[in-house]
Structure formats: structure tokens, C-alpha cells
């Protein structure tokens, strides 16, 4: 993934999504060949020259200052996450640094202990490419009960939640508002791609989803950015029926390690009862003790 090509595509896509009337420009009724703002209009709004912006959008300029990027972000009406993504895409790569093979992602002992401590609350540990690195029993039962519970234990065969959302019928049916979940997945992948442009495994995942899912290809081309740390989702679970959960994604302070995704429900709500039923129904059963023979029973 070329960062400068990503920057050019991002600027072009976001420019095409703004109409002149959105930013107070009068068009006097003239017919436009393409939707959205023209390059010179966006340059005027940002206070930069049209030729310079054209070079930037064509991937020919690689030294945009923070002030220019902030001006473009304001003109494009980007939110905080989108602004940070724009800066990440424009950041020049370090010279002389060869692309390195991504290190295998692992669950630290501290994260394993945290996952065990919240047993009873559905939780997953996700890598930056949305690979499931670990899950507790309730996390598996809620999000992927149809998959092998030992799936995260084999690095090369780990479930991938982005792939599941777009290509797995069970996961697709799980979310009542599937498009909202799908957009959140794509938005997070966009952020990750901007931070890790040299991650060939991430590029491979994006390429696979683009080829196999028309919906993903369309959403990816939209260049929407969505940092989805907290979101409510209505689920249609095959075991406990309809429920609404709040998914929270907890990141390490450095922001570069695996994330913990936890699902909760409002206390005392029917959804909380459904989660309790799911935990009870999927809890491992204790092996009953065998009755001792009367001849060996202590007297």
C-alpha cells in the first residue's frame, strides 16, 4: 500500500463528497461534469494555490506542512479521526528503512489474566488486522459460536472478524443493522492501513475482501474513516434471541498492541438477562463424580 497513493485517493474521494452548497459556494446553476467540489474550489477554501493542491492530489507532492494539512482538513470538514488519518497518510516514510516482515501478534500474560478475570462478560482480543488472538467462553459464544473454540490457538488459522463480517453468513445475520457494523469495520481498517502502509498481511486481507465482497469494495472506495471505540449493536443470536449490547474497544496506552473488545448490556435489562442465559448455557459442565462401590466406601 503506497501512502502517497492513499493520500491522493483520500483527498479525491472526500472532495467528491462535498457539494458547493455544503460549504457556501454559489454555482449559478452551471452543470458539472463530476460531483463534488472542483480542485480549485477546495484549494480556495483551504487558502492554498490550485496547482499545489493538484500536485498533492495526484501524489506528486510529498512535503505538505502541518498547516496545509490542517487547512485542507478544515475545508473538507474532517472530524478528529479523519484529520489524524490525513496527517498519517501525509507523513513521509523514513528514508533508508526497508520494509520489515510484521512480527507475529501475541497475547501478553497480562492480557490473558485480564481475559480470565472478566470471564462471564463476552470479550475478544483482536490484533490490528482484526485477527482473533484470544476469546473467553462468552465471547466465543456471543460472536462466533459456530466456529471452533480453539481457533485462536493456531496463528495461521485464526478467525478474522473483518472477514467474518463480510464473508460469513452467521456473522452477517447476527447484526440486525449489518451495514452499520460493516462500515465500522471498514473505517477501522482504513485507519490501520494509514498507520501501517507496509503491512503486507493487511494489504492481502484488504485485497481479498475487495475481490470477494462487492459491499466491501464499495465501502472501501468511499474512504470513510471511523474510529469506533464504543458502539451499540442489536444482535439476533441463534440461542438467546434479540439483544442489544455495547461493544467497547480498549487499546493499550501506546495504541500499537492488541485491543480488548468487551460486550456489555444495561444492568437489569432483557439483554443482560440474555447474556446471563448465554453464559449459563455455554458454561462447561462439571464431570459428575462416579458413585463409590459399597465395598470400598469408608466405614
How far apart are the C-alpha atoms of 128 and 259, rounded to whole Å? 8
User: Which range has highest mean pLDDT (18-27, 39-48, 101-110, 166-175)?
Assistant: 166-175
Span 165-183, average pLDDT = 96
Q: Where in the chain is the domain with CATH 1.10.260.40?
A: 3-90
Q: Quick one: angle between helices 178-195 and 3-16, nearest 10?
A: 140
The residue among 222 and 31 whose pLDDT is bigger is 222
Phi first, then psi, for residue 247 (nearest 5°) are -95, 125
> CB of 235 within 8 A of CB of 245?
yes
Q: Where in the chain is the domain with CATH 3.30.450.180?
A: 109-282
The C-alpha cell that represents 97 in the structure block: 528503512
pLDDT band at 157 (very low <50, low <70, confident <90, very high): confident
Question: Tens digits of per-residue pLDDT, 18-45?
Answer: 888 777 777 665 666 767 888 888 888 8
Span 60-85, average pLDDT = 85
Q: Is the pLDDT of residue 224 over 90?
A: no
Range of lowest pLDDT (108-112, 253-257, 260-264): 253-257
How far apart are the C-alpha atoms of 152 and 149, rounded to whole Å? 8
HEC per residue, 167-216: HCHHHHHHECCHHHHHHHHHHHHHHHHHHCCCCHHHHHHHHHHHHHCHHH
* Homologous superfamily in CATH for domain 3-90: lambda repressor-like DNA-binding domains (1.10.260.40)
The C-alpha cell that represents 92 in the structure block: 513521509
pLDDT band at 247 (very low <50, low <70, confident <90, very high): very high
Question: Tens digits of per-residue pLDDT, 187-204?
Answer: 989 888 888 888 899 999
The residue among 59 and 109 whose pLDDT is bigger is 109
Range of lowest pLDDT (116-120, 125-129, 251-255): 251-255
Q: What's the pLDDT score for residue 292?
A: 43
Separation in Å, CA 256 to CA 68, 192, 217, 234: 27, 10, 26, 29
| Percent above pLDDT 70 for the chain | 85
* pTM: predicted TM-score of the whole model, two decimal places: 0.78
Helix (H) or strand (E) holding 260: strand 259-264
How far apart are the C-alpha atoms of 143 and 49, rounded to whole Å? 50
CATH class of 109-282: alpha beta
Amino acid at each position: 500500500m503506497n501512502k502517497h497513493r492513499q493520500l491522493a485517493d483520500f483527498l479525491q474521494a472526500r472532495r467528491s463528497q462535498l457539494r458547493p452548497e455544503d460549504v457556501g459556494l454559489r454555482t449559478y446553476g452551471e452543470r458539472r461534469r463530476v460531483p463534488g467540489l472542483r480542485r480549485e474550489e477546495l484549494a480556495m477554501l483551504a487558502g492554498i494555490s490550485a496547482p499545489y493542491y493538484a500536485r498533492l492530489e495526484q501524489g506528486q507532492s510529498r512535503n505538505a506542512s502541518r498547516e496545509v494539512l490542517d487547512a485542507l482538513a478544515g475545508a473538507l470538514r474532517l472530524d478528529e479521526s479523519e484529520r489524524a488519518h490525513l496527517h498519517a497518510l501525509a507523513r513521509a516514510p523514513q528514508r533508508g528503512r526497508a520494509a520489515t516482515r510484521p512480527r507475529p501478534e501475541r497475547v501478553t500474560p497480562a492480557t490473558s489474566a485480564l481475559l480470565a478475570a472478566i470471564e462471564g462478560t463476552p470479550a475478544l482480543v483482536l490484533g490490528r488486522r482484526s485477527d482473533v488472538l484470544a476469546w473467553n467462553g462468552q465471547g466465543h459464544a456471543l460472536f462466533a459460536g459456530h466456529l471452533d473454540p480453539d481457533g485462536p490457538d493456531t496463528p495461521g488459522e485464526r478467525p478474522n472478524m473483518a472477514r467474518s463480517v463480510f464473508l460469513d453468513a452467521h456473522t452477517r445475520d447476527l447484526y440486525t443493522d449489518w451495514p452499520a457494523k460493516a462500515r465500522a469495520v471498514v473505517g477501522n481498517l482504513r485507519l490501520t492501513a494509514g498507520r501501517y502502509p507496509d503491512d503486507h498481511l493487511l494489504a492481502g486481507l484488504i485485497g481479498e475482501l475487495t475481490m470477494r465482497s462487492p459491499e466491501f469494495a464499495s465501502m472501501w472506495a468511499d474512504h470513510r474513516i471511523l474510529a469506533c471505540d464504543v458502539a451499540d449493536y442489536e444482535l439476533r443470536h441463534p440461542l438467546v434471541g434479540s439483544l442489544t449490547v455495547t461493544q467497547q474497544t480498549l487499546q493499550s496506552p501506546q495504541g500499537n498492541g492488541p485491543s480488548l473488545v468487551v460486550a456489555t448490556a444495561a444492568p437489569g435489562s432483557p439483554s443482560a438477562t440474555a447474556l446471563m442465559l448465554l453464559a449459563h448455557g455455554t458454561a462447561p459442565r462439571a464431570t459428575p463424580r462416579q458413585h463409590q462401590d459399597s465395598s470400598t466406601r469408608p466405614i
